[in-house]
Amino acid sequence: MQQCIRSIKKYCAPSAYEIVVVDNASTDGVAKWLSTQSEKMTVLLSDENLGFAGGCNACIKYAAPDTDIFLLNNDTRMTRNALFWLRMGLYEDDKVGATGCMANFCGNEQDVPVSFSQPSQYVTYAKSVNVPMANPYEEKSRLCGFAMLIRREAINIVEGLDEGFGLGYFEDDDISLRIRQAGYRLVVCHNSFIYHQGSASFGNKPGVQELLSRNYEYIKKKWGYDCLMNAVVSKNEKEILSKLPDTAFRFLEIGCGSGNFLSMVKYQHPDATVLGIERVPDAVKYGVTSIPILLCDIMKDTIPFQDGYFDVIVVNQRDDNIYEVSKLAEILAKFV
CA–CA separation, 295 and 276 (whole Å): 9
> What does each C-alpha distance from 250 to 253, 261, 269, 305 come to in angstroms?
10, 15, 11, 12
Judged against a pLDDT cut of 90, whether residue 45 lies above it is answered with: no
In the chain, the amino acid numbered 33 is: W
CB distance 69 to 60 below 8 Å: yes
Specify the pLDDT at position 214. Answer: 96
- Which of 37-51, 151-165, 252-266, 321-335 shows the lowest per-residue confidence on average (mean pLDDT)? 321-335
**203 band by pLDDT with thresholds 50, 70 and 90:** low
Specify the pLDDT at position 204. Answer: 57
Write the pLDDT tens digit of every residue in 52-77: 999 999 999 999 999 999 999 999 99
**Phi and psi at residue 296, to the nearest 5°:** -165, 170
Average pLDDT, the chain: 90
CA–CA separation, 42 and 113 (whole Å): 35
Nearest to 82 by CA among 151, 6, 8: 8
In the chain, the amino acid numbered 74 is: N
Write the pLDDT tens digit of every residue in 75-95: 999 999 999 999 999 999 999
Write the pLDDT tens digit of every residue in 109-142: 999 999 999 999 999 999 999 999 999 999 999 9
CB distance 7 to 79 below 8 Å: yes
CB distance 257 to 133 below 8 Å: no
Q: What is the DSSP string of 168-185?
A: -SSHHHHHHHHHHHTT-E
Q: What percent of the chain has pLDDT over 90?
A: 71
Residue burial 261-275, b: 16+ Cβ < 10 Å; e: rest: bbbbbbbebeebebb
Specify the pLDDT at position 269. Answer: 96
Nearest to 56 by CA among 201, 211, 186, 232: 201
Judged against a pLDDT cut of 60, whether residue 177 lies above it is answered with: yes
CA–CA separation, 110 and 147 (whole Å): 11
